[in-house]
């Protein structure tokens, strides 16, 4: 259900409370009112709901207390599989608050944190959550405050959790630390990582070569099984292309 019509939040929250089996997905368009009060109603309804699988409310400002309510909901809900909440003001505090729910959710498989104002502190909290979660699809693209070290923390957490199959890091800075962490992720994921999107990533030729080495070495265990690497908009150059080609050959 896409909530963009001139109806109140109660119209579909009541369906969540009634556990309507036909309401499996909700998208709250940016133009709709979705503040702390509305979010609290949704979280209360979802605590006992067994039908909803996807909740998307990106582009709506969300304070830490509200993020915490979503986190608490995820800890008890057993069916929500995909979530995207908050806007560019979500920040480290919002991510850290949500991370508790990510870590404890029994059902969550996809987390979209693109353009959420996340920096390294939030990334460390997210990495710690991923080490305990069941998340398979993760998007942390276009968080401008996220450095190479922060991205490395995310990848190392995913490596510890061994469940991530798809990782999107578009527009981020991929340097030596995160390239090394990708190597660990490929190795320790038991071959689960299938797709990595580094569209428009900020990488110089040396860093691209380092990523190629990571793809080739798989952390020394040879267990990685990456099927797709998306490089749209990434300035490879001759050295970078050669380095990636060497990584691909080493995986054959």
Q: How far apart are the C-alpha atoms of 17 and 35, rounded to whole Å?
A: 19
Residue 159 has pLDDT above 70, yes or no: yes
Domain boundaries, the chain: 1-113, 147-252
- The structure's pTM equals 0.89
Q: How far apart are the C-alpha atoms of 71 and 39, rounded to whole Å?
A: 12
* Percent of the chain topping pLDDT 90: 64
Helices 64-76, 91-104: crossing angle, 10 deg rounding:
10
CATH no. for 1-113: 3.80.10.10
The pairing of strands 228-230 and 2-3 is unpaired
Per the prediction, the chain carries an average pLDDT of 88
Q: How far apart are the C-alpha atoms of 74 and 80, rounded to whole Å?
A: 7
DSSP code at position 165: -
Q: Give the per-residue pLDDT at 3.
A: 44
Res. 223 pLDDT band, cuts 50 70 90: very low
Residue 248 has pLDDT above 60, yes or no: no
Region of 142 on the Ramachandran plot (φ > 0 left; ψ -120 to 50 alpha; else beta):
left
Residue pLDDT, tens place only, 106-126:
999 999 999 999 999 999 999
């Amino acid at each position: 259900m896409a909530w963009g019509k001139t109806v109140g939040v109660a119209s579909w929250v009541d369906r969540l409370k009634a556990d309507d089996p036909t309401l499996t997905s909700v998208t709250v368009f940016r133009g709709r009112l979705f503040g702390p009060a509305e979010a609290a109603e949704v979280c209360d309804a979802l605590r006992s709901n067994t039908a909803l699988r996807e909740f998307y409310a990106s582009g709506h400002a969300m304070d830490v207390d509200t993020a915490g309510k979503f986190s608490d909901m995820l800890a008890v809900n057993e069916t929500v599989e995909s979530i995207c909440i908050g806007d560019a003001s979500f920040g480290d505090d919002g991510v850290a608050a949500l991370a508790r729910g990510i870590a404890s959710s029994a059902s969550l498989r996809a987390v979209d944190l693109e353009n959420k104002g996340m920096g390294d502190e939030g990334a460390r909290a997210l990495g710690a959550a991923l080490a305990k979660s069941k998340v398979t699809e993760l998007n942390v693209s276009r968080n401008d405050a996220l450095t190479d070290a922060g991205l490395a923390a995310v990848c190392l957490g995913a490596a510890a959790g061994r469940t991530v199959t798809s990782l999107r890091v578009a527009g981020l800075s991929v340097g030596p630390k995160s390239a090394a962490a990708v190597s660990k992720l490929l190795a320790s994921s038991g071959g689960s990582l299938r797709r990595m999107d580094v569209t428009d990533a900020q990488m110089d030729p040396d860093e691209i070569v380092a990523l190629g080495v990571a793809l080739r070495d798989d952390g020394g265990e040879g267990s990685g099984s990456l099927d797709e690497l998306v490089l749209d908009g990434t300035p490879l150059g001759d050295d970078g292309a050669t380095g990636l080609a060497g990584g691909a050959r080493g995986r054959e």
